[in-house]
Amino acid sequence: MVSSIIRTSGIAEGSASEVEGLGKGIESSFALNLIPLPANPLFGTDGIRGRVGELLSAPLALQVGFWTGIVLRNHATQVGPVILGQDSRNSSDMLAMALSAGLTAAGLEVWYLGLCPTPGVAYLTSISEAIGGVMISASHNPPEDNGIKIFNADGGKLPQILQAEIEAGMRGKISPITRVSNCGRHYSRLELVGDYSSALKKPLNSSLNLQGMKIVLDLAWGAAVGLAPSVFTEMGAEVICLHNEPDGDRINVNCGSTYLDILAATVQEHNADIGFAFDGDADRVLGVDNTGRQVNGDYILYLWGRHLQQKQQLPNNLIVSTVMANLGFEKAWQQQGGNLIRTAVGDQYVQAEMLRTGAMLGGEQSGHILCRHYAVTGDGLLTALHIAALVKEAGVSLAELVDQSFQTYPQLLRNVRVIDRDRRLGWQDCQPLQQAIALAEAAMGDSGRILVRASGTEPVIRVMVEAANAELTNYWTNELVSQVQQHIAV
């Protein structure tokens, strides 16, 4: 049983004995024995992410689990389980078990999926009685990093206001509204991943299959290694797999969605129809056409958007993307009668704008693609299946579809490492950089774009320049990167 004590401004509204007993409850060992935390906010654009052993540790995960449990319970209409999944990183087992300990200490039931793509956690959370979900992964980051992503009961990213509540509890700024007088339970529910697999295939089973297609999958030694090959095979495709074992030492290393060279070479070597590369938790995907040419998220959005547009399944012909979307994509989509809305970088911003506008398709150039006809969050496997089916239905190669779509403006993205967080986040105060940006924008006019931003997931400033020709792109990229190096990364 759970007894509740409602707190207002730190004062319990209950009997004197209840108030005296607060320090003796389970919550005291977590909420009061605080661990050292960095001064900057824990939650970034995609949950909590950092180097294991520095920011991320078992004690931190324990606190995150406990306070996540408290916050989810406080905002739930009725208590239910929390679904927990992980990728293949060496640290993921440790963090998952620590999180489960914290969640059960908050009196909640944990359904543990084991190795599972991030969108699988989101989907299973959305269709069950779960009050939230947690995924242990650092997505496309290197093996030494890890992260904690939290979902609400609908399968969407946990709102920032609730993230702030979790962090406030961890910093000792609030006390639990609910006093936990019993512990929850941890259950292994690996079979639920099969329900996610069925959901991926269901929208396509009745219309067409992938028979006759040869598809190469780069699984990045990550979360999709056990699921993706079987899903594509069951849909009728001949599948060739790369990096298809769970390997915490090599996840994302020279493979997956951040490194397409091996995938491109394999597609050409085997004369395959298409190749797909996933990141470590399979919430993003990039493609390679039958000639070995890379197909990024802009092309995926254009091709899928046109497909939905022709079927009259794209309200207002609207696609939501980010400030990174290529000008060539935007102009070509507008010529098709389409509308494009740009958001800040981050799939959570894309998703929020889609919900605000009623858009059904959105995503990022980096391969986070969300189609609300079929999913509640970005899903690499689902996107790959639908793009493969789209190619099969078109009856022409992916290369031909890309050729018929648009030409990208030359675009360069350079990352400049800036360890000092204050200097990194305060880049807009650097006058020499601002002057260089203004000069570049004046020189390029309507034929180019500049985007400078501090990364929300890595200690870098990203400099992106897009122009009508490669010479201008190279010149202004080098100029702006030089300004960042001279005046910020010191």
Q: Is 15 a catalytic residue?
A: no
The active-site residue, picked from 91, 126, 128, 139, is 139
3-state secondary structure the chain: CCEECCEECCEECCCHHHHHHHHHCHHHHHHCCCCCCCCCCCCECCEEEEEECCCECHHHHHHHHHHHHHHHHHHCCCCCCEEEEECCCCCHHHHHHHHHHHHHHCCCCEEEEEECCHHHHHHHHHHCCCCEEEEECCCCCCCCEEEEEEECCCCCECCHHHHHHHHHHHCCCCCCCEECCCCCCEEECCCHHHHHHHHHHHHHHCCCCCCCCEEEEECCCCCCCCCHHHHHHHCCCEEEEECCCCCCCCCCCCCHHHCCHHHHHHHHHCCCCEEEEECCCCCCEEEECCCCCEECHHHHHHHHHHHHHHCCCCHHHEEEEECCCCHHHHHHHHHCCCEEEEECCCHHHHHHHHHHHCCCEEECCCCCEEECCCCCCCCHHHHHHHHHHHHHHHCCCHHHHHHCCCCCCCEEEEEEECCCHHHHHCHHHCHHHHHHHHHHHHHHHHHEEEEEEECCCCCEEEEEEEECCHHHHHHHHHHHHHHHHHHCCC
Q: Looking at the annotation, which residues are catalytic?
A: 139
